[in-house]
Structure 1
Amino acid sequence: MLEKTVTPRFIRESQRVYHPGITALPTGTERYEVAGAGLLVLRLFSGDTLRLVDVEGGQPAEIVPFRPQGDCDSGLLDTAANGRAEGLKKMLAYGNRLQTVLDKTGINLNSAVSIDCFGKESPAGVEAVFVASNDAFVVIAAPGDNMIVDESHPPTPLLAFVERAHTAAENISPPLPEPLAEPKLDCRVHSATAKAYRVNAGDWIQLIDVEGRQCADFQAFSLAALEKGKERCLDLTVSRTLMRRAYPTPGVHAKYYDYNFEPLVEIVQDTCNRHDAFGIACCAKYYEDMGYPGHVNCSDNFNTELEPYGVEPRQGWMAMNFFFNTNIDCGENFCSDEPWSRPGDYVLLRALTDLVCVSSACPDDIDPANGWNPTDIHLRTYDKSLRARRSVWFRKRPDSEAEMTKETGFHPRTAALTREFVESNGYWLPAGFSARGALDEYWACREKAVAVDLSVLRKFEIVGPDAEALLQYCLTRNMRRLAVGQVVYTAMCYDTGTMIDDGTVFRLGDDVFRWVGGNDYGGEWLRKQAAKLELNVLVKTSTDHLHNLSVQGPLSRDILRDIIWTHPHQPALTELTWFRFTIGRLGDERGLPVLVSRTGYTGELGYEIFCHPTDAPAVWDKVMAAGAPHGIVPMGLTALDMVRVEAGLIFAGHEFDDQTDPYEAGIGFAVPAQKNDDFIGRDALLRRCENPQRVLVGLELAGEELALHGDCVRVGRQQVGIVTSAVRSPLLGKNLALCRIAIEYADIGTQVEVGKLDGHQKRIPAVVVKFPFYDPEKKRPRA
């Protein structure tokens, strides 16, 4: 076994042209992720090379090789065992689902020994390399315990790369994903063909892209209507309208209807997230117009398959075009490109009535629709007894492993109160609570108190002797002035001065910090800079170990004062000043551990309670019970957006992106005038500060029509700005917007117009006003 720090092989070559759906790995190389506190079972063959990478550093690994007969033998990897797989056995002792992974292989770990590598002090990127001397099953574990709020060493992922000694022939299809249950129908729809099939109400349909970048047209008919001689098929125009998507956009809807508004199918899982929902299936005329008369096409294939069911043939079939990457360009022209789907991507649908369905493997080979190479689609159907969790798949970066949408630790409580959830950065969060509605939630925040699940925020532990130096270099605020127990809001920038993210830094100790931001790349960026500067520091992802409930509103202190217990050496909740935190327990000294900060995203007095996800339901119950006499209510993202715009608080993708600097985003205060140490983007920010081009301002609009994100702002014919966020303020009784505007038009009182439609034919008069609109001196959160 060889252990070394290297640049991992999955870093892409800079001169390569990248295509969607194609792996970035060399032929014969496979990549797997071992989740923190998780395990992976791999099959290795003689001569295969296993490379194990501690991506974030400080994560122990246990490797247990087994002969195919089930006997543990570390010699299979030509390495002596140096451990007893204690971490792995401890994880399995909890009785979790990890045991089922091992049961499938017949592996028994009771007497197993392990090859232990890495450790708490391992640097990020360290590798361990093994070569299999014989065929083997290999169990890889990333052991670790749940991290509590005042710790900074969560279990983090490992990456396993397998380089096959004997690469499979190119005509061998990639392995299909495991069936979700015992299939009722399990068949291949071969390239350039289609297949019709029946599905009972409540049953499931899984359409799998076998090799990636292959479109699958889908159509469904009500069986009851067909038996009466009526064709009632899936209608995309009706579906878009009922799903409130009047303008065609890529993607899938929650449900699909026929033209009598009867629901036929619903989408429950989607691992690609890029489909066509408005084009028809390819037809003879398309190929004829392109100079290919007689080309096989999906519409004719549908006609052939549907003939036994008495369906009349059509020149071109409206269809749900799964995995087809189409769009409307800036000139409002229909355009398409290579699909995003990768080998094994699938869509899972549930039949809402008895159906006759037809699916195709599109034959288009004259444009990028199928990556220029039509391949197969695999079809499975399952009985209604299958229980499938509603989810889409989320990738932290384009070449990351896909992750299914997660539920936060508070989900068991919020799901009991609403069905209105939206996907937010890989998690399901409530948009609102149907018992009250967004307006009532808004008023509760302004007058009483609310509880908001903000667990989607990304958390990273920055620990080590050089932790302060790393953050001093990577963030705009002066970390050397941050005291233990203090929180500071700051920006993270590129060398151009434009923003990667905004967030808060908690100082838990002299060399222990916690970054709470909006995206996963923040942690990766910090690790890259630490490696570049050769700093002695670890950056560990702790998002899955710290979920947070935001308790906001003028009565929030009264609610929390009696349920947060703290040691004498920690501040009591009532002693916390703005941007400070305390570490305590829920209820009393025997209660659940929590970290409570006096921070928020509403412009009100408020706090955030951080806890482990397993403790989240108990935290919710305690807060809601204590808050009931004070009128506390749960609040969703819709109402949260209303209060944050009133308070002038910024949001990624609206007020800033990677083309926006902190001054343009309205947070120039986060770039201190006096920070003598160098930091990333410092020179660029100095130039931008001295020569500003754009600035964030508030607008007050005439009338009642709401501005929308992206609306142009004009003076005469000239566009001088763009609306970033807008709200109709219930408290102020005004129509408000945040606007990034040219510095020449940023003075208070400047008259402008918000353009609607094409930006010219319809204008809403507006005036530049001071913002934050609500409590501009921020007296309420300081109260």
Structure 2
Amino acid sequence: MLTPGLPILPPGVERHPVPGGGSRAVAVWRGDEIMVLDREGMQPVEMVFFGPDKRSDAGRLGAKGYGRPEGIIATLNNGSRSGAKVLKSLDAAGFDIGRGDAIRALGEGSRPGDMARFTAEQDGLLIVAAPGGEMGPEGEGLATELTLYIRRADPKLVKMTGQSHDPLADPLLDATIMPGEAKPYEVRKGQYIQILDVQGRECSDFQAFSMRALDKGLEREIDPTTTRALMGNLYPTPGIFSKYWSSDQEPLVEIVQDTCGRHDTFGLACTARYYEDLGYPGHVNCSDNMNAELGAYGIRPRGGWAAINFFFNTMLDDANAIGMDDPWSRPGDFVLLRALTDLVCVSTACPCDVDPANGWNPTEIQLRTYKETESFQRSIGYRKSTEADVEETKKTAFHECFARHTRDFIEYNGYWLANTMTNHGAIAEYWACRDKVAVMDLSPLRKYEVTGPDAEELMQLCVTRNMKKLSVGQVVYTAMCYEHGGMIDDGTVYRLGETNFRWIGGNDTSGLWLREQAERHGLNAWVRNSTDQLHNIAVQGRHSRDILSKIFWTPPQQPTIDELPWFRLTIARLGDLSGPSVVISRTGYSGELGYEIFCHPKHAVEIFDKVWEAGAPYGITPLGLAALDMLRIEGGLIFAGSEFDDTTDPFEAGIGFTVPLKSMEDDFIGRVAVERRKASPHRKLVGFEVQGGVVPVPGDCVRVGKAQVGEITSAMKSPILGKVIALGRVAPEYAEPGTVIEIGQLDGLQKRLRATVSAFPHFDPTKSRVKGEYASEMA
């Protein structure tokens, strides 16, 4: 089997990610080989090595010294979390970074995958940084991630150097639970519990009892049924719906961080009966282990414990049968909980070795608790790819600006984004955009800087539009496909210069694909992730031009806001020539006249406040994801995972206009397959007008008689049209406007919604509003 989710390093080798603009401190021993990998290219590395005598000498790594490590010092003091951890390590060891002897490598001209190598000539502490300044909106000064590998001269030292995963803070309790063991522990209100899967794919049963109830002789523990009913989810997740409840509906713990996201709340902890029924009498099991440990607290034994089984991968099928498979958890995945009252808890490491519950190989669980005074932000684990390191859910640079208007934030592609606004709601936000003007946070869009002599050739190869016709300052909407014609992503390409492009898409897969193709085809181009260095808001609605033209200054060689045509960009500054620099494009996702403003995160609040101040006379309103979804469905704008995926080609997704097969002679990846699929289509994206007030659900089947001929991809009740509309894919035979179909619910046969195929966009099909051509009366 291939298991890319469980990367295996050679014996004696450690891996330590170093974030762009961040740092890492690692203990090394004499003879250790140190390797620093440039993941994306052109990223300089700066290192300092301190010996036990507290002196720093680059020669101890066999390298040339450059004196004071200015790059490391700037990185440690930039306010990053990694910098704070390294400063703490230096302070504890008594090392003076100001007297360090800098080692520099990689940087200018380095390619993705280039590696610098050193050997430690004595024991010591190594600090590695990926320095970089503030990236400007045009892409200069970008810092990207490095990976530090250490091959230990003595492999037995691996576990001594933190190869077991670092704690989140100084722990109160730090215990290893081996397979077939259970650990009871007490936790006070406000304290944190971390349950960590050390090697990956290992389940851990968890149960918590209200200590106050136990003092009264009552057993009140987490009740999965109550929790599912109150949360509306099979299991809670960080955010608003995050709590586990007792049968008395008392909240006991809440989920603060979860890097795995898939756990069990359906059944029991493993029991003696389960193994007996399989023919394994006497097999050690979690329920008996929990009974043995909880007896000290006067808790009665049970034949099977209802428990939250973290990392256990169970699921319900269409017939409500419970199935299971290997866990989704990777090495180091964890769940962080916060106690909402004083608790008696128990955690296990499941011993099951007779089915996929633990990937057939039970391993250890690490249990840690932390003080209530620690501060941990809410986070859902995100990975750019299967093999990538897990990342915490981030707040965009505009987060606090929108937090003034709401507490309803949901996770979207690794970021917290506002869903609806307090005292507004999705309908009011929608109408603000249609009638006046609205501002929304689109910072999670993935940005990748594509630069180098072969940048145009790379983009021509990887997207469906003709990059040779794209002028500097122009923006184009396009698709990106695999060889079989299925879409990787849709997005926009910004041309910032002759050899400078910016790809803006919905996911990291597209950026990683660009980098992979540059390497595969030997192109002299770099693809570097700038998402965290370039955050953006969209100002959408009929008054957007008037607002932005009041507050942004453009140099003479750039178009003003008033002059900016559709799908063009300008380089501007807030206020005057000394204000923060931004890139403004006349683009959006609302079907209205609108603009996107891209800036460095440190300028985000200042820019938002100026936009808000200038927009106040026009009734500017903050807009969340729920309202944005309504706007884009009406406007016929597609969304990944709804209207397209990697089985859908651009014509099936309704954006065939992005594939100029007749006028573009150059090949692009997937062209042959797309031409073949266009000639013999199996599905076509269409609109629907649905009778009545019931809104279909994405995935509902589209039927003619008993035959399924398609499915719904998106649906809503349109406020401006006053009827239910939908988008969906159907067989070409039923794609003509006016065709009568039925939308199946329940099992697709017992309940039907009558509908008619229609053209889309349902609203403003001529795009007159996005061009700024508003009628005097509402449509």
Which segment is superposed worse, 708-717 or 251-260? Answer: 251-260
Shift of 1:271: 2.2
> Using a 3 Å threshold, how does the CA distance of structure 1 residues 152 and 714 change in structure 2: closer, same or farther?
farther
Amino acid at match of 2:728: C
Amino acid at match of 1:405: T
Distance 1:18 1:410 in 2: 38
> Which of residues 696, 709, 727 is equivalent to 1:707?
696
TM alignment of 1:303-314, pairs within 5 A: 303-314=291-302
The one-character-per-residue Cα deviations of 1:237-272 (angstroms, maximum 9, x if unpaired) are 111111112xx4797861011122211110001122
Corresponding residue of 1:525: 513
Task: Please give the secondary structure, in 2, of the residue aligned with 1:473.
Answer: helix
Counterpart check, 1:494 vs 2:482: yes
> Using a 3 Å threshold, how does the CA distance of structure 1 residues 531 and 23 change in structure 2: closer, same or farther?
closer
Counterpart check, 1:17 vs 2:6: no
Shift of 1:343: 3.4
Task: Please give the secondary structure, in 2, of the residue aligned with 1:52.
Answer: strand
The one-character-per-residue Cα deviations of 1:41-91 (angstroms, maximum 9, x if unpaired) are 222223322222212111111222222332112222222335653322333
| Percent pairwise identity | 54
Task: Please give the secondary structure, in 2, of the residue aligned with 1:344.
Answer: coil
Corresponding residue of 1:617: 605
Distance 1:173 1:571 in 2: 56
Task: Please give the secondary structure, in 2, of the residue aligned with 1:194.
Answer: strand
> Using a 3 Å threshold, how does the CA distance of structure 1 residues 354 and 523 change in structure 2: closer, same or farther?
same
Shift of 1:171: 9.6
Task: Please give the secondary structure, in 1, of the residue aligned with 2:329.
Answer: coil
Corresponding residue of 1:547: 535
Counterpart check, 1:269 vs 2:254: no
Shift of 1:564: 1.1
Mapped contact 2:14–2:158 kept (Cα < 8 A): no
Aligned-residue CA RMSD (Å): 2.0
Task: Please give the secondary structure, in 1, of the residue aligned with 2:456.
Answer: helix
Corresponding residue of 1:167: 155
Counterpart check, 1:781 vs 2:770: yes
Corresponding residue of 1:475: 463
Structure 1 segments of 4+ aligned residues over 6 angstroms from their partners: 169-174, 249-252
Corresponding residue of 2:418: 430
Shift of 1:94: 4.9
The one-character-per-residue Cα deviations of 1:334-381 (angstroms, maximum 9, x if unpaired) are 222222323333211111122222222222121121222323323222
Amino acid at match of 2:210: S
Task: Please give the secondary structure, in 1, of the residue aligned with 2:60.
Answer: helix
> Which of residues 390, 399, 406 is equivalent to 1:402?
390
Corresponding residue of 2:72: 88
Mapped contact 2:237–2:255 kept (Cα < 8 A): no
Distance 1:473 1:764 in 2: 44
Distance 1:455 1:484 in 2: 23
Which segment is superposed worse, 379-388 or 416-425? Answer: 379-388
Shift of 1:153: 4.1
The one-character-per-residue Cα deviations of 1:78-132 (angstroms, maximum 9, x if unpaired) are 2233565332233345576523353344332223222221222222222222222
Corresponding residue of 2:449: 461
Corresponding residue of 1:53: 37
Distance 1:180 1:131 in 2: 30
Amino acid at match of 1:749: G
Task: Please give the secondary structure, in 2, of the residue aligned with 1:737.
Answer: strand
Normalised by the length of structure 1, the TM-score is 0.94
Amino acid at match of 2:64: A
Task: Please give the secondary structure, in 2, of the residue aligned with 1:380.
Answer: strand
Structure 2, unmatched stretches of 5+, are 773-779
TM alignment of 1:224-623, pairs within 5 A: 224-245=212-233, 248=234, 254-329=242-317, 332-623=320-611
Corresponding residue of 1:13: none
> Which of residues 29, 52, 57 is equivalent to 2:13?
29
Shift of 1:755: 1.0
> Using a 3 Å threshold, how does the CA distance of structure 1 residues 378 and 54 change in structure 2: closer, same or farther?
closer
Distance 1:130 1:506 in 2: 40
Counterpart check, 1:662 vs 2:650: yes
Corresponding residue of 1:3: none
Distance 2:729 2:601 in 1: 38
Shift of 1:708: 1.0
Corresponding residue of 1:685: 674
Mapped contact 2:261–2:381 kept (Cα < 8 A): yes
Mapped contact 1:175–1:344 kept (Cα < 8 A): no
> Which of residues 85, 103, 123 is equivalent to 2:111?
123
> Using a 3 Å threshold, how does the CA distance of structure 1 residues 93 and 376 change in structure 2: closer, same or farther?
closer
Task: Please give the secondary structure, in 2, of the residue aligned with 1:594.
Answer: strand
Corresponding residue of 1:8: none
Mapped contact 2:69–2:98 kept (Cα < 8 A): no
Corresponding residue of 2:210: 222
Shift of 1:516: 0.5
> Which of residues 67, 70, 79 is equivalent to 2:54?
70
Amino acid at match of 2:218: K
Distance 2:724 2:717 in 1: 4
Distance 2:169 2:675 in 1: 60
Corresponding residue of 1:40: 24
Shift of 1:19: 6.6
> Using a 3 Å threshold, how does the CA distance of structure 1 residues 321 and 96 change in structure 2: closer, same or farther?
closer
Shift of 1:231: 2.1
Task: Please give the secondary structure, in 1, of the residue aligned with 2:717.
Answer: strand
Normalised by the length of structure 2, the TM-score is 0.95
Task: Please give the secondary structure, in 2, of the residue aligned with 1:780.
Answer: coil
> Using a 3 Å threshold, how does the CA distance of structure 1 residues 750 and 499 change in structure 2: closer, same or farther?
same
The one-character-per-residue Cα deviations of 1:402-454 (angstroms, maximum 9, x if unpaired) are 11111100012122321111111111111111221111111111111111000
Counterpart check, 1:644 vs 2:632: yes
Mapped contact 1:36–1:156 kept (Cα < 8 A): yes
Distance 1:169 1:70 in 2: 22
Corresponding residue of 1:10: none
Distance 2:162 2:321 in 1: 35
Mapped contact 1:250–1:274 kept (Cα < 8 A): no
Corresponding residue of 1:767: 756
> Using a 3 Å threshold, how does the CA distance of structure 1 residues 730 and 680 change in structure 2: closer, same or farther?
same
Counterpart check, 1:79 vs 2:83: no
Shift of 1:611: 0.5
Amino acid at match of 1:483: S
Task: Please give the secondary structure, in 1, of the residue aligned with 2:647.
Answer: coil
Amino acid at match of 2:379: S
Aligned residues: 765
The one-character-per-residue Cα deviations of 1:310-353 (angstroms, maximum 9, x if unpaired) are 32222211111111121224554322222232333321111112
Corresponding residue of 1:748: 737
Structure 1, unmatched stretches of 5+, are 1-15
Which segment is superposed worse, 637-646 or 220-229? Answer: 220-229
Distance 2:145 2:156 in 1: 28
Which segment is superposed worse, 75-84 or 411-420? Answer: 75-84
Distance 1:19 1:475 in 2: 27
Task: Please give the secondary structure, in 2, of the residue aligned with 1:394.
Answer: coil
Distance 2:168 2:32 in 1: 30
Shift of 1:282: 0.9
Shift of 1:492: 0.8
Counterpart check, 1:739 vs 2:728: yes
The one-character-per-residue Cα deviations of 1:185-230 (angstroms, maximum 9, x if unpaired) are 3333332122222222222222222333221111112222222222
Distance 2:333 2:428 in 1: 41
> Using a 3 Å threshold, how does the CA distance of structure 1 residues 104 and 401 change in structure 2: closer, same or farther?
farther
Corresponding residue of 1:720: 709
Which segment is superposed worse, 385-394 or 732-741? Answer: 385-394
Distance 1:461 1:533 in 2: 18
Which segment is superposed worse, 142-151 or 487-496? Answer: 142-151
> Which of residues 667, 671, 685 is equivalent to 1:696?
685
Task: Please give the secondary structure, in 1, of the residue aligned with 2:108.
Answer: coil
The one-character-per-residue Cα deviations of 1:658-695 (angstroms, maximum 9, x if unpaired) are 11100011100000131011111111111112211111
Mapped contact 1:576–1:598 kept (Cα < 8 A): yes
